[in-house]
Chain A
Amino acid sequence: MKNDRRARIKEVADRLSAGFVSAGALPVETDSLLPADVLLDLYGEDIRARAYVTHDPLQGEQMLRPDFTVPIVQRHMSEGAEPARYTYNGNVWRKQSGGRPAEFTQVGYELFDRTDPAGADAEVFAMFSGMLAGYPLKVTTGDMGILLAAVDGLKTTDRRRAALRRHVWRPVRFVRLLERYGGMTPPPETRTALLAQVAELGAEKVLEQAGTPQGLRSEQEVLARIAVLQQDSAAAPVSSEEVQMLEQVLALKDTSTAALEQLRDMASSFPALQAPADAMEDRLKAMAARRVDVDTLPFEVSFGRTSMEYYDGFVFGFTAPDRSDLPVVASGGRYDALTRVLGQGRSIAAVGGVIRPEALVAVQEGAL
């Protein structure tokens, strides 16, 4: 039975893969063992909790491929010409808490094209939507670019905007920062005490009294941060209108067409939302041209906020309703931010997605 199931999963994976190839994608293979340092630097400690790390006396830490995105982006950056379309079909390994198999298949499609972002978003979404059309799945879309633009438009210090931007993917800290910047929660007592002490004695003296310096983080770095804290405590709070606007943006959830209309409304009093609204309109037009019904397509600004760090534009996900035992069946989006980090300043426009054939087969079995 188990072998039958494996064969069926392979059959589904191969069929999906053939679909991507016939759409013009170049099939690519990557190593299964990847150098851990790149993935760790990119994803941070979270990846260690999810991926299998192994150690080689000569090669150092290696990771069993947790996804295909990083090796494919690296390969494209070193040798690819644009526009480029790639597809892959292979195993990935991730630690699972819910008792799901740690080894599973991913079939994906990645498109690198900087000329027409709306067209590229629409192409990828329409392709996934078409391939999954026969399955009982629920689709959701979102756009991280809207929240990022809203943060960039706040009338506050560059530092505060940067701090909020950095935590867009971590809602807990984002809210805490926003509440502090908006003056809803006071700064921690220890900080107020430090600033009072600095005002009285001067930062150098305070540092001197704190004991012998040790470690790699230098006295200059501590002094620089004290200066930042001083500036921050002198900055005016983010206005309640702007805080409300951010909350409204975060809560925006409707069909795509209706969501765009609401976004336009908000943009009339908050011009920073104009550009993402235009981008969304272009995308919806491009999607409609590919026969996606944007009048019914669900859209949520906050969709994918926690699960997909580095997605910084259009995002989408296909899930099986009433099957909380299954992972997301397919997901994807635009990840220009990731290529910027991997390319150390050099970035490419990238959008792609991935399907899990195991989940697709499970959905099919459930529907039989």
Chain B
Amino acid sequence: MSLKLGIPSKGRLQEKTIDWFAQHGITVQRTGSDREYAGQVLGVDNVELVLLSAGEIPKELAAGRIHLGVTGTDLVREKMPRWSDIVAEVEPLGFGHADLVIAVPDCWVDVTTVDDLDAAAAQFRADHGFRLRIATKYHGLVRRYLSGEGVADYQLVDSQGATEGTVKNLTAEAIADITSTGDTLRANGLRILSDGLILKSQATMFASKAAEWDAVALSAWGGFAKSCGWAEKPF
């Protein structure tokens, strides 16, 4: 069985992934029309390229339907409980940097740390009769972080996009979201807590521990390993 390599199906993440491989002497190219999700890998034998939405890659790795996949560490940690049992981190690729952070409105001059957030949440609940709402799509990561920090009296509300607008729209009091430069946060009058960094994420090559690594797949791995300087075995 050939080695299945999953990469993002479009956008900057795809371009950067292709560039990264090119720097290591491997040509990853799309075939057919621009709209067709097909491609090939030159320079390593027995590799099948699979173009996937970045959000799907963790799931495909977990199911063992792809051997290798490029996706953000944030998605792997959010979508896979006990992720290190399921995938191995092969190499951080040095692009797609994003930080998952907690941010509060600029006007909360009294809240600069997670400790402050906890105290403000207690008072907010007493004043308003419900728990302080934090909008996010990273429920697992944010909950684990706040629980580890011993924060109480908050609730997470789901926000799958435009999370920075939820405070203005009065659907949340604070947010936890991915940011790379912080510009969108600033533009929306939000400020990152000084100790509110939950996770530093970047695009990373993952190997699936659930995939079937037969002789053909392992020989293809060997081809990648030689060009990219990876270990002899995927994990």
Contacts and interface: CB of A to CB of B under 8 A. Distances in A.
B107 A214 contact: yes
Given A44-B154, A191-B116, 14 more contacts: A40-B131, A40-B155, A49-B140, A49-B144, A163-B122, A172-B149, A173-B150, A191-B113, A212-B107, A213-B107, A214-B168, A215-B167, A226-B110, A229-B110
A211 B188 CA distance: 11
Contacts of A190: 112-113, 194
- With most chain B CB atoms within 10 A of its CB, the pick from A97, A188, A214, A217 is A217
Interface residues of B, number: 44
B106 A48 contact: no
Given A173-B149, A191-B112, A210-B106, A217 B120 contact: yes
B11 interface: no
Contacts of A211: 106-107, 189
B110 A222 contact: yes
B151 interface: yes
Given A45-B146, A172-B148, A216 B128 contact: yes
**Closest 10 A-B residue pairs measured CB to CB?**
A173-B150, A170-B150, A190-B112, A211-B106, A172-B150, A225-B110, A215-B167, A213-B107, A210-B109, A215-B105
A214 B131 contact: no
Contact of A224 (B115, B123, B155): B123
Contacts of B108: 217, 222
A226 B150 contact: no
Given A176-B115, A215-B167, A167 B152 contact: yes
Interface of B: 81-82, 105-110, 112-113, 115-116, 118-120, 122-124, 127-128, 130-132, 139-140, 143-144, 146-156, 167-168, 170, 173, 189, 194
A216 B170 contact: yes
Nearest to B146: A45
Contacts of A222: 107-110
A226 B167 contact: no
Interface string A39-54: 0110011101100000
A228 to B, nearest CB: 8
23 contacts: A41-B131, A44-B155, A45-B155, A46-B147, A49-B147, A97-B81, A163-B122, A167-B150, A172-B149, A173-B118, A188-B112, A206-B109, A210-B107, A213-B105, A213-B107, A214-B168, A215-B107, A215-B167, A215-B170, A217-B105, A221-B123, A225-B120, A226-B110
A194 B112 contact: yes
B110 A44 contact: no
